[in-house]
Chain A
Amino acid sequence: MGRRWWMKWYSWVILVAHVFAILIFTRGFLLTRTELPYYSHGSDISQSPCFSSTSTNHSWNKPVVDRLVIIVLDAIRFDFVAPSVFFQEKKAWMDKLSVLQKMAFAEGSSAKIFKAIADPPTTSLQRLKGLTTGGLPTFIDVGNSFGAPAIVEDNFIHQLVENGKRVVMMGDDTWIQLFPHHFNNSHPYPSFNVKDLHTVDNGCIEHLFPALYQDDWDVLIAHFLGVDHAGHIFGVDSLPMIEKLEQYNLMLEKVIKVLGSQSEPGGLHENTFLLVMGDHGQTLNGDHGGGSAEEVETSIFAMSFKKPPTSIPSELDTSSCKLDLDGKKKCASSIQQLDFAVTVSALLGIPFPFGSIGRVNPELYALGAGTWNLGGINARDSSNLSELEEWLLNYVNVLCINSWQVKRYIDVYSASSVIGFSSEDLLHISNAYVQAEQNWANSTKNLLLHRNERSHTLLPALTRQIDFYFSFLSNVSELARSKWTEFNLKLMGIGLGTMLISLFIIFLAIQRVNNLYTTSLLSPGGSGISFELIFAFFVVAIRACSFLSNSFILEEGKVASFLLATTSIVRLRSSIMKKKMLFEALSFLLLISILRFTIEVGLSKQAATSLFLSASPSWVLGVAPGHPLWTYMAEIGPILAVILLACLLCRTIANSIFGGLWKYITMATILSYVLIAVYWGAESSIPTLALLLQGMAKGHIPRMIYAIGLGQLLLFAVAHLFVKDRELDYKRSLVVKTVSILSAWSPTIIILSGKQGSLVALALIIGGYCIVKLESVEDSDSDAIFTFNPLAIAQWNLLAVCLFFATGHWCAFDGLRYGAAFIGFDEFVLVRQAILLTIDTFGFSHILPVLALPFLAVCNFLFGQNDHGKDFRFTQLSQMYMMYGLITATTVTVTIICVTIQRRHLMVWGLFAPKFVFDVVGLVLTDALICLASLLYSGRLEDDDTQAVQRTEQ
């Protein structure tokens, strides 16, 4: 009794360990911000405690500039723009954008260079989202960032359009993906051909200069891609890069000249603001996406054509200055990209985006605020002081609105999000806000009302007020960053460690089972390591290692079918060697070849929805669709397959070992199959068939099938619990149980998978049959470690993986077949539809293969070892399940390791994270099914045990 109790509990222990590990890891890994679909409106301002600066209710604050030119230079490093004195040594690519430096450091100029710090992931699309929404990256939206990623959150482009500003865009077509309906006029150019350095840039320049003479826009966005592409292809320290920078320099010089020439009072660009900015930096090799300083540090050059700008109090000045060789002072300030959206909104006087958590940057804001012609801060004459006060007052008011808007967002977010902030953090933020508000209400407002009387105290009061707001806003952004964008490495480490420990436990368990039986069964002299074991290990290891590269994850289905074909070729070789099972080996190979094509068709579907696979049409077989024969076959084939399945099942039942309740359970499946055939017939586009079956209420058929399946499972449970199956021996009862549970599951899975379902089910049966048959080709060498064939289990696993991809799934959220969730139902109920979707997604790849694993064990019984007891067989079966679990857990563990390594990778959210989610769900499901199987297939071991105990006692 004692030696096997742990085998029953072992699978549960593993399940719990895996769930724990995954939960811990996920908490540390996934960025869990959810997007809110709320938008700011002009009228919202009446709810704020701040002064409304204008009489109309629809403007949040007074616009400071009228027109805005944003020139985005993709992947501009900070050292492209900043003067080389800021760096240890002058490199070839520095000081090339000399016109910006000239403008920024000219006497009395109204231009400034900022170091802009981005939040990773530093990919263009993510950064454009961050720049326009003023928020931090999220997981779900980046999950489908390669699909159709229109921004659903509030952003300043949306606000511009809402407030009647006309926006013109030219350059990178990512903008069009993000804002499909927002631009008055757009000239997009494809951004995907990295080798093309010039098309986008030349197109931009072609449209930019005519536009600068037009008055039909308020905001102009020109996005240049040349530097990004030059970096990707040639690296930073290369001639093409320097040529690009020189080209940009000429372009910018011309832009500034054109704008400057029309900036006289009454001119077209009298109150125009120019921003030249990068969306992210790049490393010296031209890579970006991660969080290293080179990648996150980019630059913003801001210039107003009003002269001179506002000087702001020194407390607000963040600039750092260096002396160059001539002893001239050169300064550059610093800004977070998070602050960009709200600052631009403030400059243009539009409502701040709802989800923005940035603050209005004083220096950038002051640059635009050239309308207040102020002298130096040190000027002591009263008129200047009052003008400075005027500016500060305005700025405080803007900050007040800003803080109110951020607080509103945090409140709404905490109320509506599943994983919000901890109450402690919220309290901290609230305190900071309340403090600022009280100060505003109590002291500053009073001061302002009576400012004529006590002007000397006004300036410090305003500064103090600004400090309060800053402290609140920085608290919020700090908290948001730590909660939303930073990986918690400690938690990730704990999760990974637990995973590794669980692997070790499984390994020990397999070892222990072996030790139980090696003494009784196997000759101790053998080496124990067979070729099969090494080869199985090799295959699993290759598959696991392939997850290190994004390309292999993308083509995971092909990798799996490649490995499966390799194993089957090895099997074919040994079957030629033994001169038996040649037919099975060949048909298995044929089956894999067919599966391979269906996998490629699935991949081509993926390519259609996502851009980044469109480059490989070559792999796809060009089948001419539309031929009537094809449609006829496509309609009839699945129905025939279902009928074939029913016949197969009929024959199986006819076997005498099926008796009593089991027979009825299995027979119900035949009814389900017939229903499926009728349902598909009614759906088909072949008129005669459709007419024939039109009369039946086809909406009810899927529900009937689900109900039958559920009923079968219930009956199964009853039969398992209450029907004594003593008269059957263990092998027979195992076969009967396996067949009945598979037949209970299969109709539901088939109908959810659509018409391919029955064909895939046939493929699974044929594949399983071949694996089972071929398993016995190898001699069970007396010195083998295992009493079963490890390669067969690896093949079983690979076949399951192949079926996942062959059924048209892939590891991304757009790879879910949402249509499956609505078969038989029209309305959406979360739990019901989620269950259906899960069954569809994992049915063929997890549920059926795991439950069908006993066939492998049964086959082992057939070929020898018939003298061993039920006890031995159960042990063998559980060892097989352990092996299967070990293979699955190993691949998932490696996925987790890869995700950890690649957490700053360009495609971590597009590829690695969805893969992680799918794998992890699959692992938990596999573990749960193994637990279920250990319950179902254990038989009446207790009786056996007691007998054994009695025997020993006697």
Chain B
Amino acid sequence: MADQSKKEKENLSKSISAPQAFLIHLISGLGLAISLWVAHNFYSINLVSHPSTTLRLIWIVESAIVILIYSRFRIDPQQCSYLKAVVRGILALPVGALVNALGAIALGAPIGIQYLPKTINWSLLMSSFTVAPAASVFGSSWTYWQRIFAQTKPNEPLEYMICIPAHGAVIGGWFGAWPMPLDWERPWQEWPICVTYGAMTGYLVGMLASSGFVLANGRRQRLKED
């Protein structure tokens, strides 16, 4: 009985079904939407007026959702309990934030005391888009990290679901930085507002694309089995 459930779990972690993938992405997307909505309606703040508070709200909600969900699909359920996966996700969050922040600074993000909270919150959000789910799922397995983030060669649905939205968020954020130097004098051109918009858009697009990939992959799998 126990064996069976273990096997089931292993199957679950190994191949994620298309509806499941949809559901996970839907929840992540909804998490973003709800946190923005709550910020707007309950605290009456938004990204433009209170960037760092809003960002904090978003990354807390989003990272919680992402870590809790993706920890269920950890690759090594035998060695690693659910709780452990959650913990390593939480631990990876600040590390990923550091990497993201350093990257942003190399690319030209302003540094200075008044930008510090914004940068920290933004990079934590980026981390929960990119690093946190990967850490929950893969742990410290370097080969996976290298394949997903350096080579961009995901093989299975789960890897697609981590890899594509993460890349989408980074590329979206990169493009989001473009309007910043323009002289339109709009408040949203400030760091990190438009970068956040870009990253969120990229993340959503990435999730759509990864759903598509998972679907295509599933169909291919089924054809193979037939």
Identify the A interface with B (CB < 8 A).
549-552, 554-555, 558-559, 561-562, 565-566, 568-569, 573-574, 576-577, 589-590, 592-593, 596, 615, 618-622
> Please, how many residues of chain B have a CB less than 8 angstroms from a CB on the other chain?
23
* A interface footprint on B90-129 (CB within 8 Å = 1, 0 otherwise): 0000000000000101111011111100000000000000
Partner of B106, one of A550, A559, A569: A569
Residues from chain A with a CB closer than 8 A to the CB of B114 are 618
Whether the Cβ atoms of A559 and B183 lie closer than 8 Å is no
In angstroms, Cα B178 to Cα A552, docked, is 9
Whether the Cβ atoms of B177 and A562 lie closer than 8 Å is yes
Whether the Cβ atoms of A573 and B182 lie closer than 8 Å is no
Partner of A566, one of B110, B112, B150, B174: B174
Whether the Cβ atoms of B112 and A562 lie closer than 8 Å is no
* A interface footprint on B192-215 (CB within 8 Å = 1, 0 otherwise): 000000000000000000000000
Residues from chain B with a CB closer than 8 A to the CB of A622 are 112-113
Whether the Cβ atoms of B106 and A621 lie closer than 8 Å is no
Whether the Cβ atoms of B112 and A551 lie closer than 8 Å is no
Partner of A576, one of B150, B177, B183: B150
Output the least CB separation between A583 and chain B (Å): 16
Residues from chain B with a CB closer than 8 A to the CB of A549 are 182
Whether the Cβ atoms of B181 and A555 lie closer than 8 Å is yes
Is B81 interfacial (CB-CB < 8 Å)?
no
Residues from chain B with a CB closer than 8 A to the CB of A590 are 106
Known A550-B183, A577-B150, A596-B106; 18 more pairs at CB < 8 Å = A549-B182, A551-B182, A566-B107, A569-B103, A569-B106, A569-B107, A573-B150, A576-B149, A576-B150, A577-B151, A618-B110, A618-B115, A618-B191, A619-B110, A620-B112, A621-B111, A621-B112, A622-B112
Is B140 interfacial (CB-CB < 8 Å)?
no
Residues from chain A with a CB closer than 8 A to the CB of B182 are 549, 551-552
Whether the Cβ atoms of A593 and B181 lie closer than 8 Å is no
In angstroms, Cα B181 to Cα A550, docked, is 10
Output the least CB separation between B4 and chain A (Å): 40
A-B pairs with the 9 shortest C-beta distances?
A577-B150, A555-B181, A576-B150, A551-B182, A593-B106, A565-B106, A551-B183, A565-B107, A551-B181
The total of interchain contacts (Cβ-Cβ below 8 angstroms) comes to: 55
Residues from chain B with a CB closer than 8 A to the CB of A596 are 106, 108
Whether the Cβ atoms of B183 and A577 lie closer than 8 Å is no
Identify the B interface with A (CB < 8 A).
103, 105-108, 110-115, 146, 149-151, 174, 177, 181-183, 185, 190-191
Output the least CB separation between A591 and chain B (Å): 10
Whether the Cβ atoms of B150 and A574 lie closer than 8 Å is yes
Whether the Cβ atoms of A589 and B106 lie closer than 8 Å is yes
Residues from chain A with a CB closer than 8 A to the CB of B146 are 576-577
Specify which of B106, B151, B185 lies most central, judged by the most chain A CB atoms within 10 Å of its CB.
B106
Residues from chain A with a CB closer than 8 A to the CB of B106 are 565, 568-569, 589-590, 592-593, 596
Output the least CB separation between B84 and chain A (Å): 26
In angstroms, Cα B177 to Cα A562, docked, is 10
Output the least CB separation between A311 and chain B (Å): 51
Output the least CB separation between B165 and chain A (Å): 17
Whether the Cβ atoms of A593 and B110 lie closer than 8 Å is no
**Chain A: CB-nearest residue to B182:** A551
Residues from chain B with a CB closer than 8 A to the CB of A554 are 181, 183
In angstroms, Cα B68 to Cα A69, docked, is 75
Residues from chain B with a CB closer than 8 A to the CB of A568 are 106
Output the least CB separation between B47 and chain A (Å): 17
In angstroms, Cα B174 to Cα A562, docked, is 10
Output the least CB separation between B39 and chain A (Å): 24
29 contacts between A and B (CB under 8 A): A551-B183, A552-B181, A552-B182, A554-B183, A558-B108, A559-B181, A562-B107, A562-B108, A565-B106, A565-B107, A566-B174, A568-B106, A569-B103, A569-B106, A569-B107, A576-B146, A576-B150, A577-B150, A577-B151, A589-B106, A590-B106, A593-B105, A618-B110, A618-B112, A618-B114, A618-B115, A618-B191, A622-B112, A622-B113
Residues from chain A with a CB closer than 8 A to the CB of B190 are 618
Output the least CB separation between A598 and chain B (Å): 13
In angstroms, Cα B191 to Cα A186, docked, is 40
Residues from chain A with a CB closer than 8 A to the CB of B105 are 593
Output the least CB separation between B148 and chain A (Å): 11
In angstroms, Cα B182 to Cα A596, docked, is 18
Partner of A561, one of B108, B151, B183, B185: B108
Output the least CB separation between A553 and chain B (Å): 10
**Chain A: CB-nearest residue to B153:** A577
**Chain A: CB-nearest residue to B107:** A565
In angstroms, Cα B151 to Cα A51, docked, is 89
Residues from chain A with a CB closer than 8 A to the CB of B183 are 550-551, 554
**Chain B: CB-nearest residue to A555:** B181
In angstroms, Cα B61 to Cα A704, docked, is 67
Output the least CB separation between B150 and chain A (Å): 4
Residues from chain B with a CB closer than 8 A to the CB of A592 are 106
Residues from chain B with a CB closer than 8 A to the CB of A550 are 183
